[in-house]
A and B are shown apart, each in its own frame.
Chain A
Amino acid sequence: MTSADAPPHPAHRPSADAAPAPATPGKVAIWLFLATEIMFFTGLLGSYIVFRAGSPPTSYSNLYAPAAQLDRLKDARGVVLGAVGPDADGVAGAIASATGKGEAEVARILAAAPHGVVNGLDEKGAGELTAALGKLGAKAEAASLRTSNWPRPYDPLTNPLSIDLTTVNTFILICSSATMVLAVSAIQQGRKGRCSLFLLATLVLGGTFLGVQVFEYHELLEGRSYPIGISPTGHFTPEVSLFASCFFTVTGFHGLHVAAGVVTLAIVFLGSLLGRFSAQDFGAVEYAGLYWHFVDVVWILLFTIVYLI
């Protein structure tokens, strides 16, 4: 350990009340900026809440595309295809003959298995198709119409979001917030090497969060096929439903903030490597940290509102 990295008398610590943090122009500026950001994200999340709570109770269903007119379809039945089985052509033919659907639409249903949805059936037709698919070795079960005003968490027929993956990603961002505050703490104690190390860790964790979000976007937009209750096209793109538009707007703007934070952290990290900060001059590290923690706080709320509720 170099003399610059040595902790200054850890046994002597004044109480928090004895030494309130000083108000520097930079800190006032960053807090003013964060106040405007509070309003920005309140606008986004407030709109999301209104759109969600104001949606009619028949906006989403397990059998029909979002915003379909379900007034005359209360008795509609469908079949959920859990697995296609060994005879994909036979399954496709059975679905096509039972519903009159075209080749492309049947292909989308098969691609969405284990959550492929065949709609446009009555009770008798759903029973017959379920039996026919069972004989072909496919796993299928009849389903009646269920509606909701918004896609429910953990409902793969209306909600494409992966809560498991995003919970891990949320904790990654929280860890990056912890490494960020440890970087500030290190430079406040004059430990420059330790500060650089924690800044690098924050950078890596922030980049990982962004990477997972890009992966999630890819899966939603192109990578997977989803049932019709999520999207009539099979892909979760912003125009397929109000939920999709809100999801991409809210998480997209947050992702842009994280990306801006990662760029800022990279600049601060380079400055730290060049020895620009010290125990007497660490404003840039502290301001970057305040912004980064704010982004973390926003994600904590956003994750709960958009993914879990």
Chain B
Amino acid sequence: MTEADASLPIVPATPAQAAAAADVESHAPYLKILFALFLLTVGEYLFARFLKDSPGPLIFGLVLLASAKAALVAWYFMHLKYERFWVFLVIGPALLMAFILTLLLFPDFVMLPDPLGEPVPATSGEAPRPAG
């Protein structure tokens, strides 16, 4: 494999390329990202406090805010922004399987029995009366 094979997912870097990559990563706007994470955390806290009695908007908003926070950490702090395609090839199948797993579990929480709609079982010690 030569240095020209840049289309392949894994290409050994020359020392100069490695130094250039490290230079790029080392100058990312980390404190700005931290401030954004602070704002999102405060937003999440206020959202949860003031919408605690509205489950639909609460879940939608909180999942959105949490996803934004997780994405910021992964994209900037974990340097996904600066990585090559091979990293996405490694974590892609895991994320896909995680998604499928959650999707497969979905029937378990949409096909619920309604316990209040079922007949109440006899819990007293009395024997049932004979019919007629």
Residues of A at under 8 Å CB distance from B? 8, 10, 13-16, 18-23, 28, 31-32, 34-36, 38-39, 42-43, 46, 49-50, 52-54, 56-58, 69, 71-72, 152-154, 163, 167, 170-171, 174-175, 177-178, 180-182, 184-186, 188-189, 279-280, 282, 289-290, 293-294, 296-297, 300-301, 303-305, 308-309
Contact = CB atoms under 8 A, between A and B. Distances in A.
Contacts of B31: 178
Contacts of B17: 19, 22
Given A46-B102, A58-B115, A153 B52 contact: yes
A21 B23 contact: no
Contacts of A8: 23
Contacts of B7: none
Interface of B: 9-13, 15, 17-28, 30-31, 33-34, 37-38, 41, 44-45, 48-49, 52, 58-59, 62-63, 65-66, 69-70, 73-74, 76-79, 81-84, 86-87, 90-91, 93-95, 97-98, 101-102, 105, 108-109, 112-113, 115-116, 120-121, 123
Interface of B is mostly: helix
Contacts of A72: 120, 123
Contacts of B115: 56-58, 71
B48 A31 contact: no
A36 to B, nearest CB: 7
Contact of A50 (B25, B28, B105): B105
A175 B25 contact: no
B95 to A, nearest CB: 6
Contact of A39 (B10, B38, B98): B98
